[in-house]
Structure 1
């Protein structure tokens, strides 16, 4: 039992070290030797858990996907409108990115043009499907204009969200992400939400930014 626990701790240490390097320097610029040094382990310990750098990247992508599912499950458990659920989900993912280097690395890996592919659907495809469903439901709930193209709005939202992090990585600290996300939602709400419903969602964006920064 103690041996299994040590093995699990070593695996987690390796993943965290790799994620930190992938996030700060990129996947291609990080070597296995870099990961060994950063994790303060032996090469044998690394190869016991991961046969190649691709396996490490895939593990990080899987953890990223699992965390996203937990955020969605938490939000879906609330009694809120579809648009609010979508907003809360994006801020929930942003909070994880601020707090956890593994999840920051997962987003960077997902956005990078590398040969590593996650098991199952690409996370961006899943985000697009989820956002499209929520936008369509928000149209039925009269929180979004009835004449909008839900797929186009969802696509713009996902690209906006990803781009906010990708562009921001090199010019400002990760702690700035909640503010950028609130700015994104202020623009989107003014573009797709009917005037009588806007104050509610503009206020929600500000509230979620404040909660995310305080978490």
Structure 2
């Protein structure tokens, strides 16, 4: 019984994520989610109590993606800056390919039209980037002029700015190329010994090997 309930919750969440991403919150109804998930409206209300709570569940699933992704992409023994760049590409691919991530981002952008409190964005990302920059400082690989506490928020802002522009111009199809261009611009100001091309080549080679 418990397994069947979990199957229903997952099916409804996935269906809602697809529809919220494709149509937006206002244009998606419980009837649409019921049809897409092949679950009754009664089952949806039983598990999620309404469209607002379902939207919040999608956003929460979006945020729950990140700790797992961070752990998976911080390679033990690798330099902190390399881990930071590797993580940025993993996040970029999630925003391009993972419907829960994309739906969560759209719903958060539409939060003012949804009558439920949403989790705050960016705060955990800023803390993660600051931690990695602080690690680079301890390793001696961070440029003297760089400041982890100051620069973490700027890097997160630039990263999500690239995502916004890429989404608008090409639906993130070229996000990895655009992110590479951002790192070519930024890394010379972060690396104690600037060598952005070599670092990016290692990270992109690692990423390619994961997809083989």
TM-score (structure 1 length as normaliser) = 0.82
Contact 1:58-1:118 within 8 A present in 2 as well: yes
Contact 1:182-1:205 within 8 A present in 2 as well: no
Cα RMSD over matched residues?
Answer: 2.6
Q: State the match for 2:117 in structure 1.
A: 117
- Distance in 1 (alpha carbons) for counterparts of 2:151 and 2:111: 24
Contact 1:98-1:104 within 8 A present in 2 as well: yes
Per the alignment, do residues 131 and 111 of structure 1 end up closer, same or farther by CA in structure 2, a change over 3 Å counting? farther
Q: What's the offset of the Cα at 1:131?
A: 0.7
- Distance in 2 (alpha carbons) for counterparts of 1:48 and 1:155: 40
Q: What's the offset of the Cα at 1:44?
A: 0.9
Contact 1:14-1:35 within 8 A present in 2 as well: yes
Gaps of 5+ in 1: none
Per the alignment, do residues 94 and 31 of structure 1 end up closer, same or farther by CA in structure 2, a change over 3 Å counting? same
- Size of the aligned set, in residue pairs, is 210
Q: What's the offset of the Cα at 1:118?
A: 4.3
Runs (4+) off by over 6 Å: none
Of 80-89 and 192-201, the range deviating more from structure 2: 192-201
- Distance in 1 (alpha carbons) for counterparts of 2:37 and 2:180: 35
- Distance in 2 (alpha carbons) for counterparts of 1:169 and 1:43: 33
Q: What's the offset of the Cα at 1:13?
A: 1.3
Contact 2:187-2:194 within 8 A present in 1 as well: no
Of 133-142 and 64-73, the range deviating more from structure 2: 133-142
Contact 1:108-1:166 within 8 A present in 2 as well: no
Q: State the match for 2:175 in structure 1.
A: 177
Matching of residues 11-160 of structure 1 within 5 Å: 11-76=9-74, 78-114=76-112, 116-118=116-118, 122-160=120-158
Three-state SS of the structure 2 residue aligned to 1:171 is helix
Q: What's the offset of the Cα at 1:15?
A: 0.7
Match of 1:204 among 181, 199, 202: 202
Per the alignment, do residues 174 and 199 of structure 1 end up closer, same or farther by CA in structure 2, a change over 3 Å counting? closer
- Distance in 2 (alpha carbons) for counterparts of 1:23 and 1:31: 13
Q: What's the offset of the Cα at 1:6?
A: 2.5
Contact 2:55-2:107 within 8 A present in 1 as well: yes
Per the alignment, do residues 132 and 32 of structure 1 end up closer, same or farther by CA in structure 2, a change over 3 Å counting? same
